[in-house]
Amino acid sequence: MEALDNKCPACGAKITFNPKNQMWDCEYCGSKFTLEQMQKYNNASSKEANNKKENQVEKPEKTIDGLDVYRCKNCGAEVMADEQTTSTFCVYCGSTAILKDRITEGLAPSKIIPFKKVKEDAIEAFKALSKGRPLMPKLFNDTKNIEKISGVYIPFWTYDLKVDGTIDFNATDITTWSDYNYRYTKIDTYLSKRSGSMNFERVLVDGSSRFDDDLMDSLEPFEFKDLVDYDHAYLSGFLAEKYDVESNIAIERANTRAMNSAIDVMKESVAHQNKNVATKNLNISKVKEDYILLPVWMVNINYNNKKYIFAMNGQTGEIVGNIPIDIKKTIIISLLLFIITTLIVFVIIRGIG
């Protein structure tokens, strides 16, 4: 079957979503369109194309080596995609291929935060990694090391959760003093009880097993004020993934995050120096769940024949990833610190003498 795509209502050329003006720009005729204007045109952004009824689902033509094959609506070439891909590109004409059957299988996304950052923003964020990182290899953030940059809509489950119950803390306060002969230590021990109810809104859990959970968690927070109703049009010019982690599995991580946060809040309210959980009786319940798509720029780096992956929040510009350490720099800086510390101690000792 043909994959869905978006075309310029003015000239029929391919059209992409522009994060800078939040409109759809045609690079051929220069026209710009709002979502409302795009929805009136018979393409992937139309209300008919976004109808999620099962009898309108388009199935792939065939399967090759585990990849489903679709037909590019623009040039007729074959477009191949694995079972998690919902939006990809035709390698011949560059048009976005929106695989509707992947989007509508199971639960379709209800909301999306459109990209606000462009590819150039991701490049600049990578180049700026050296700031405040003296141990990073000098040429690591050279743009020549960038192997690939992809704008991807990542599937996320989001949960509203309620935690209520009680926690008992063993708490202590330590006081020390001394006289001419002895040093004294006094330890006061308390049993502090806390109870209450807390509501957590939009606890995020990455819904794709292909992306590292810790990496995706580090991209938070997203600003949910920018959430809009999902439309295929937002995928134009970007890749997109479908969830392969079911909600009943993902919620376990959400529950853990909410429970740990609730414990931290209650622990913070205990006004003693040291406090440890003695017993806890907490209950957690789901108030609401949703399936949404969030924007992420994935930056693949090849440095000294090693692969590194960085991710940038496509809304806020926050970039995260593992940065290598230059061993030579580490040794030199350590030696310099040792020498400086030794000199300071020597000067202090001479001053005392």
**Residue 124 sits in which domain range?**
119-322
163 and 221 part of one domain: yes
pLDDT digits (tens, 9 = 90+) for 245-301: 999 999 999 999 999 999 999 999 999 999 999 999 999 999 999 999 999 999 999
Whether the ω angle into residue 60 lies within 30 degrees of 0, i.e. cis, is: no
Q: Which residues contact 110 (CB under 8 A, 6 or more apart)?
A: 229, 230, 290, 291, 292
pLDDT digits (tens, 9 = 90+) for 105-158: 667 899 999 999 999 999 999 999 988 888 899 889 999 999 999 999 999 999
150 and 259 part of one domain: yes
The model's pTM is: 0.84
* 122 φ/ψ angles, rounded to the nearest 5 degrees: -65, -40
94 and 124 part of one domain: no
- Residue 243 C-beta-side C-alpha neighbours within 13 Å: 24
268 and 343 part of one domain: no
203 and 346 part of one domain: no
233 and 92 part of one domain: no
Q: Which two tokens stand for residue 87?
A: 């939006």
* 159 φ/ψ angles, rounded to the nearest 5 degrees: -130, 140
65 and 209 part of one domain: no
51 belongs to a structural domain? yes
169 belongs to a structural domain? yes
Question: What DSSP string describes 106-153?
Answer: SSPP-EE----S-HHHHHHHHHGGGTT-TTS-TTTT-GGGEEEEEEEE
61 belongs to a structural domain? yes
Residue type, 255: N
30 and 94 part of one domain: yes
Question: Is there a contact between 293 and 230 (Cβ–Cβ < 8 Å)?
Answer: yes
Q: How far is CA 40 from each of CA 36, 49, 97, 258, 326, rounded to the nearest angstrom?
A: 7, 11, 20, 42, 55
93 belongs to a structural domain? yes
Most confident of 38-47, 49-58, 133-142, 248-257: 248-257
Among candidate residues 76, 106, 136, the one where a domain is terminated: 106
262 and 125 part of one domain: yes
114 belongs to a structural domain? no
Torsion of CA 223, 224, 229, 230, to 10 degrees: 60
Confidence grade of residue 62 (pLDDT, cut at 50, 70, 90): low
Domain count, the chain: 3
Q: Which two tokens stand for residue 299?
A: 């930056």
Question: Is there a contact between 229 and 143 (Cβ–Cβ < 8 Å)?
Answer: no
- Indicate if the pLDDT at residue 34 is higher than 70: yes
Q: How far apart are CA 308 and CA 341, in angstroms?
A: 35
Among candidate residues 81, 106, 131, the one where a domain is terminated: 106
CA-closest candidate to residue 232, choices 45, 18, 3, 5: 45
Among candidate residues 106, 140, 172, the one where a domain is terminated: 106
4 belongs to a structural domain? no
98 and 174 part of one domain: no
152 and 241 part of one domain: yes
219 and 256 part of one domain: yes
Residue-level pLDDT at 54: 44
Q: Which residues pair with 198 in a beta bridge?
A: 163
1 belongs to a structural domain? no
Q: How far is CA 85 from each of CA 121, 123, 208, 235, rounded to the nearest angstrom?
A: 24, 24, 11, 12
113 belongs to a structural domain? no
Q: How far apart are CA 18 and CA 120, in angstroms?
A: 13
